[in-house]
Chain A
Amino acid sequence: MTVKLLKQLIKYSYNNNMLNPKNVNRIANLLNRSDLKLYIRAIKIQERKLSVFIDTPMNNMKLKEKFKDTFPHKNIYFRNDPSLMLGARITADDMILDINLNNTLESIIKFVEEDYD
């Protein structure tokens, strides 16, 4: 299967940024084992591209609404992570943005370890 064809299949598998089970099943039935593997991998990558994971230490509804406005065309998933203490961690595809207290404290520890004998 060519990359071009794979991209077309992925495009056909989605409706409004959501997987269309009907189309996915139709495609999957037509593919052989090795092509199916490639198709599954491509869907996984596409899912990652369309999803934004937001880890927060507390359940703040206002904050959630704000994030929905920030990423209007993405599927947003909220997860609870008390280890972050304050702030949030945003994971969008292969990028992670750390704006939380835990990260600041870790940066201080790293800085002290590296710069002080």
Chain B
Amino acid sequence: MIDSNSILQQLEKRLTKFSDEPKIQNIGIVEKNSDGVVVVSGLSLAFMGEKIIFGNGESGVILGLEEDTASIILFDKGESIKEGDKAKRTGNLLSILAGEDLMGRVINPLGIPLDGKPAIKKGQKMPLERIAAGVVEREPVNTPLKTGIKAIDAMIPIGRGQRELIIGDRGLGKTAIAIDTIINQRSNVKGQKSNVICIYVAIGQKQSTVAQIIGRLKDKDALDYTIVIAANAPDPAALQYLSPYAGAAIAEYFMQKGQDVLIVYDDLTKHAWAYRQISLILGRPAGREAYSGDIFYLHSRLLERAVKMNKKNGGGSITALPIIETQASDISAYIPTNVISITDGQIYLQSDLFNVGIRPAINVGNSVSRVGGAAQTPAIKSVASKLRLELAQYRELAVFAQFGSELDQGTLNQIERGKRLTEILKQPQYEPLQEAFEILSIWVVINGFANDIPVENIRRFEKEYHQYLKTHNPKIIETLSSGEKLTDSTIDQLKKVTEKFKKVFTV
């Protein structure tokens, strides 16, 4: 039993934190309120990025400081804020509560729940704006982040701590790739937690689209390890502008604890639009395509927060998958070129490929991963090294063969193999594959085992082949899952099993 003295001591200890000193406040007077931006005079002690509260309870953040006035972007519509109203400083930079309680939740960039569940009260306050980790704290990308998509894991591998852009026109499956990657982070062992925490940041999207994505994540049991931050189309531009930074702040919380985080920014085009809107209302000079001069810094400071920390600093990582929507496949527009130059590679989706049924519609020629190769496992590296070259040669020959000229047997074989390679790289949405099966699919085609299978049967061949190996040779799957380079004995074993399977496979 606790005696009364210790209870009193505890209470007194709590009171020592209480300050009864006179309160000094720095206030401002609203001068102008236009389209979500309020100009306030006074606030002489305010600083950039400080949270400000208005008399009616609405809040905003300072985004411009002039000689006598401060420009504040509002988190609400601000219809009831009028000239002469008071604005109070909070003395705090804009921050968000980050903690384990956020798992499986849908929140807005201020941390307010959008899923109807209770408010998040526990956690660590993380500033939205923060300088990214320096070079001393980092280490090179060396661990793979599996997407479960054959074409990506084989040819455009992504490493933990990398920034890989997903770029393409609307409706080509950019979000699908990101969602598949999130689903693929689910642990294969039932009841075991995922070792990668996922954050999906929806910027300026339709509410129905976001609801659909959340539903899909829930169906695939991926919401348990995912946090959704949404600033949708009807939300103020300020929230859309802040949402990726809120995502990065939460990601940094987990990264500091040594965990690996995957963050998807869907999409940065709309983020740039929101910032353009704010900049124009703030009266900043408009540059190319009416964006303000600091539009590059807007994205570079965000994506620079993706990092692979060294062991001394916890060893955590933040992998960023920003998405950019192009107009009429124009990747040379202002925002696409900016983000391409910031990121460590891009996955380029092309409408022509999508229309002929190649899904995911990845254009291998224009897609690249600048650092992911170092993170690829030796197993997939050994089978995928020839893949890109084979595909490139096939595309060249396929164009040439269109003229109907006579071709030698070698060229014809190459074209046929190319057709099967293209077919095997097709993958349905929301069905990411384990690495072992990715290796098997690519290996079987690259080595000519599928040459006599009609192209239209390749998908069924692949499915049944996987099933056959699962039931008849689970040891091979185990060996391939280890990620080690394929030894001669494994290759011999694979050849034998494949021959056996081909005998039972009926076309």
Q: CA A94 – CA B28 in complex, angstroms?
A: 6
Say yes or no: B41 contacts A98, CB within 8 Å.
Answer: no
Task: Indicate whether B385 reaches chain A with its CB closer than 8 angstroms.
Answer: no
B363 nearest CB across to chain A (Å): 54
Q: Which of B19, B23, B26 contacts A98 (CB 8 A)?
A: B23
Q: CA A48 – CA B31 in complex, angstroms?
A: 14
Say yes or no: B24 contacts A95, CB within 8 Å.
Answer: yes
Task: Indicate whether B44 reaches chain A with its CB closer than 8 angstroms.
Answer: yes
Chain A residue contacts of B25, Cβ below 8 A: 95-98
Chain A residue contacts of B456, Cβ below 8 A: none
Task: Indicate whether B406 reaches chain A with its CB closer than 8 angstroms.
Answer: no
Q: CA A108 – CA B14 in complex, angstroms?
A: 12
With A48-B42, A94-B43, A96-B27 already in contact, the answer to whether A108 and B22 are too (CB < 8 A) is: no
B240 nearest CB across to chain A (Å): 30
Chain B residue contacts of A111, Cβ below 8 A: 17-18
Which residue in chain B gives the minimum CB-CB distance to A117? B121
Q: CA A100 – CA B326 in complex, angstroms?
A: 60
Say yes or no: B26 contacts A107, CB within 8 Å.
Answer: no
Task: Indicate whether B79 reaches chain A with its CB closer than 8 angstroms.
Answer: no
Task: Indicate whether A1 reaches chain B with its CB closer than 8 angstroms.
Answer: no
Q: Which of B23, B26, B43, B67 contacts A103 (CB 8 A)?
A: B23
The tally of CB-CB contacts under 8 A between chains A and B is 49
Task: Indicate whether B3 reaches chain A with its CB closer than 8 angstroms.
Answer: no
Say yes or no: A96 contacts B67, CB within 8 Å.
Answer: no
Chain B residue contacts of A115, Cβ below 8 A: 14, 17
Task: Indicate whether A18 reaches chain B with its CB closer than 8 angstroms.
Answer: no
Q: Which of B20, B25, B31, B44 gathers the greatest number of chain A CB atoms within 10 Å?
A: B25
Chain B residue contacts of A103, Cβ below 8 A: 22-23
Task: Indicate whether B68 reaches chain A with its CB closer than 8 angstroms.
Answer: yes
A5 nearest CB across to chain B (Å): 14
Which residue in chain A gives the minimum CB-CB distance to B89? A94
Chain A residue contacts of B17, Cβ below 8 A: 111, 115
Q: Which of B20, B26, B41, B67 contacts A3 (CB 8 A)?
A: B67
Count of A interface residues, CB-CB < 8 Å: 18
Interface of chain B residues 6 through 41 with chain A (CB within 8 A): 14, 17-20, 22-29, 31, 41
Which residue in chain B gives the minimum CB-CB distance to A112? B18
A52 nearest CB across to chain B (Å): 14
A54 nearest CB across to chain B (Å): 14
A10 nearest CB across to chain B (Å): 11
Q: CA A45 – CA B40 in complex, angstroms?
A: 11
Task: Indicate whether A80 reaches chain B with its CB closer than 8 angstroms.
Answer: no
Say yes or no: A108 contacts B18, CB within 8 Å.
Answer: yes
Say yes or no: B42 contacts A104, CB within 8 Å.
Answer: no
B68 nearest CB across to chain A (Å): 6
Chain B residue contacts of A104, Cβ below 8 A: 20
Say yes or no: B22 contacts A94, CB within 8 Å.
Answer: no
Q: CA A11 – CA B28 in complex, angstroms?
A: 23
Interface of chain A residues 47 through 105 with chain B (CB within 8 A): 48, 93-99, 103-104
Which residue in chain B gives the minimum CB-CB distance to A96? B25
Q: CA A45 – CA B43 in complex, angstroms?
A: 12
Which residue in chain B gives the minimum CB-CB distance to A103? B23
With A41-B31, A107-B20 already in contact, the answer to whether A95 and B26 are too (CB < 8 A) is: yes
> Scoring B residues 40 to 68 as 1 if CB is less than 8 Å from chain A, else 0, what string do you get?
01111000000000000000000000011
Chain A residue contacts of B68, Cβ below 8 A: 45
A114 nearest CB across to chain B (Å): 10
Say yes or no: B41 contacts A45, CB within 8 Å.
Answer: yes
Q: CA A97 – CA B29 in complex, angstroms?
A: 16
Which residue in chain A gives the minimum CB-CB distance to B20? A104
Chain B residue contacts of A45, Cβ below 8 A: 41, 68
Say yes or no: B44 contacts A98, CB within 8 Å.
Answer: no
Q: CA A94 – CA B31 in complex, angstroms?
A: 14
A37 nearest CB across to chain B (Å): 11
Which residue in chain B gives the minimum CB-CB distance to A115? B14
Q: CA A99 – CA B25 in complex, angstroms?
A: 12
Q: CA A3 – CA B29 in complex, angstroms?
A: 20
B371 nearest CB across to chain A (Å): 45
Which residue in chain A gives the minimum CB-CB distance to B24? A97
With A3-B67, A94-B28, A115-B17 already in contact, the answer to whether A99 and B42 are too (CB < 8 A) is: no
Q: Which of B22, B23, B44 contacts A93 (CB 8 A)?
A: B44
Chain B residue contacts of A108, Cβ below 8 A: 18
Chain A residue contacts of B29, Cβ below 8 A: 48, 94
Say yes or no: B67 contacts A98, CB within 8 Å.
Answer: no
Q: Which of B14, B19, B44, B67 contacts A94 (CB 8 A)?
A: B44
A91 nearest CB across to chain B (Å): 8
Interface of chain A residues 23 through 62 with chain B (CB within 8 A): 41, 45, 48
> Scoring B residues 161 to 201 as 1 if CB is less than 8 Å from chain A, else 0, what string do you get?
00000000000000000000000000000000000000000
A21 nearest CB across to chain B (Å): 23
Say yes or no: A94 contacts B27, CB within 8 Å.
Answer: yes
Chain B residue contacts of A107, Cβ below 8 A: 18-20, 23
Q: CA A45 – CA B29 in complex, angstroms?
A: 10
A36 nearest CB across to chain B (Å): 16
Q: Which 7 A-B pairs have the closest CB atoms?
A: A94-B42, A98-B23, A96-B25, A99-B22, A111-B18, A103-B23, A94-B44
Extra inter-chain contacts (4) besides given A93-B42, A96-B25, A111-B18, CB under 8 Å: A95-B26, A95-B27, A111-B17, A115-B17
Which residues of chain B have a CB within 8 Å of any CB of chain A? 14, 17-20, 22-29, 31, 41-44, 67-68
- Report 10 cross-chain contacts, Cβ distance below 8 Å, ordered by A residue: A48-B42, A93-B42, A94-B28, A94-B29, A95-B27, A96-B25, A96-B26, A97-B25, A103-B23, A111-B17
